[in-house]
Structure 1
């Protein structure tokens, strides 16, 4: 994508009140390079508010140019959702960021990834598991993806680096504002051997609301998510929720029923997450997915599912990676709701679909 297109993409996506979903709606109207040159009347006509019109006309250019200047540094990149370099797995998810700021090894973003997340205040055993498992995953050719937080995240990154493997850290701040500060050295090492990723301008400071949203990128980049250790209200469960909604497999490591640091993992397992007792438990499950990452498919799992050979192909053809309610499936297939529910139950028992908040999605294992 040309610099002019990236500049336009940034000018529109950085506009206050324009999130990933609104951005895609605007993009469906016209290309960003055209929209940023719309008149005030034209911008208003497509639904933009007065403050957004002012931003696009008066403030957006300076911010976008600052971002482009940052990207002139060594191993720094800006990749937009309209670019062929944009991570294909992430592009299949709802609310994928319009632009990503990347520092490090850009090709890693299309490499098969396993996300590892967990408590910031993890036990010594949990930290050891995170480090060991990450090293094993890296030795099997997977990139270990996490959020650079203290605790499980940091040890997962470190475990991959220990074996000269690759790792990706998704930040809840701009890449020039590494958080937490004590992970500045770790972030530097990740930028050398892996990649730092953010949807925020490099100068953006960490804010509490950024971190839950960051988790959708962690899971969206990955084939599967492993929760190592988590309390009942851990932020790691947000990542697991995003993963389920995105059609990714969720894995969890069990622990003592008497320890609160394991209650989150136990809840996930009761809800259908795969129980993990060794790295092989996860590796064997996702082995069939590892060839996907270098191919851009129309939908995430089309190459793994031949719908004509599966039961209820008409229904299955209308289930994707975004949750679809039963009534919508009935409308699309012209099948009575009661029959749709019966077919979905059978498909779920066979492992082809999974029930999530809002309806049904294809199961990651296909």
Structure 2
């Protein structure tokens, strides 16, 4: 799907800042609608140099701008209580449509915590999911690095502009995620880290994922904010237990007391998202089948039965890589990932090392 011909009107909306609801409403109303009275003063304060900086960033290869009225805007993020009106993306925007799990936790993680984050991230990637996190020190970095190392998909959501690593020591990691995955921010290029940005960043992390795994978290932790926002969005929350003597375990224990699922293995997380994965994965229907309404966001189609049938016929008893399934079905990798996840959790498909096959007891048709 091509980017909008003229990004300047959308850039003005994003640069104006303020509450997201009126900005989304204005974008949905279309280019000829007058701006809401509360937004007009903010729009007047947007400086040409701010727009020029964004346009220079967008002119570079692999840089994208997804507005609320853009069919490429990720479907799952639309379902959260306060989705951002637009996203700056460095890398592959299709990854924002891939079924994903968020892996978050303490910046001051223990060595065991970092190892656990890496173990779970690798398992999620092997199961065909993307790993979403916040590029922070500790658990976030371990999850991103493990996903990249095993050739999996990872998405980093920032509380800065998409060109600003925080912490600065993660500049190389930011570049690698942008080159091999996707970097996402609702804030324009050049935006420095500000405390008020990170709760909204945490909401995007939660909104892009089917569920959120908290590996380690202190009693007061941004990971707990991500977990709360995930629960408010109707997603599942998982927490790893730890030693009662470890400060980084106290937040996880609190989450478990409050109803998060205690997990010890990646398989328990995958089983835990099964009740949500089918309905939510079906919102990731092919965007070519979901044309945008005039002046409004793309419709989300829940019925992809014919595509599921096509995929089922393309599968066999022998493990098949994703690129072969793309060739056989004519569907995109992002679309296939969502359907394969649902079929795997239904017990119809087995996945190993990124290759997919029918399970022997899977039957002969998919409804």
**Structure 2 length-normalised TM:** 0.73
Matched, 1:22 2:22: yes
Counterparts of 2:93 and 2:39, CA distance in 1: 36
Question: Which residue of 176, 184, 193 corresponds with 2:163?
Answer: 176
Counterparts of 1:49 and 1:115, CA distance in 2: 33
Counterparts of 1:93 and 1:301, CA distance in 2: 17
Q: Which residue number in structure 1 is paired with residue 187 of structure 2?
A: 200
Note the 1:152-167 alignment, pairs <5 A.
Answer: 152-167=139-154
Note the 1:115-194 alignment, pairs <5 A.
Answer: 115-194=102-181
RMSD: 2.3
Counterparts of 1:82 and 1:299, CA distance in 2: 10
Note the 1:215-226 alignment, pairs <5 A.
Answer: 215-226=202-213
Number of aligned positions between the proteins: 288
Contact 2:27–2:69 under 8 Å retained in 1: no
Contact 1:7–1:65 under 8 Å retained in 2: no
| C-alpha displacement of 1:187 | 1.2
List, as ranges, runs of 4+ consecutive aligned residues in structure 1 with deviation greater than 4 Å: 296-303
Q: Which residue number in structure 2 is paired with residue 228 of structure 1?
A: 215
Contact 1:143–1:166 under 8 Å retained in 2: yes
More relative contact order, 1 or 2 (CA 8 Å, 6+ apart): 2
Q: What stretches of structure 1 of length at least 5 have no aligned partner?
A: 304-366
Summarize the Cα distance change of 1:300–1:262 in structure 2 as closer, same or farther, 3 Å threshold.
farther
| C-alpha displacement of 1:12 | 2.0
| C-alpha displacement of 1:49 | 6.7
Deviations 1:161-186 (A, max 9, x none): 12111100001111222111111111
Q: Which residue number in structure 1 is paired with residue 14 of structure 2?
A: 13
Summarize the Cα distance change of 1:50–1:26 in structure 2 as closer, same or farther, 3 Å threshold.
closer
Matched, 1:69 2:56: yes
Three-state SS of the structure 2 residue aligned to 1:130 is helix
Contact 2:27–2:68 under 8 Å retained in 1: no
Question: Which residue of 32, 35, 47 corresponds with 1:34?
Answer: 32
Matched, 1:252 2:239: yes
Counterparts of 2:241 and 2:198, CA distance in 1: 25
**Structure 1 length-normalised TM:** 0.73
Contact 1:111–1:293 under 8 Å retained in 2: no
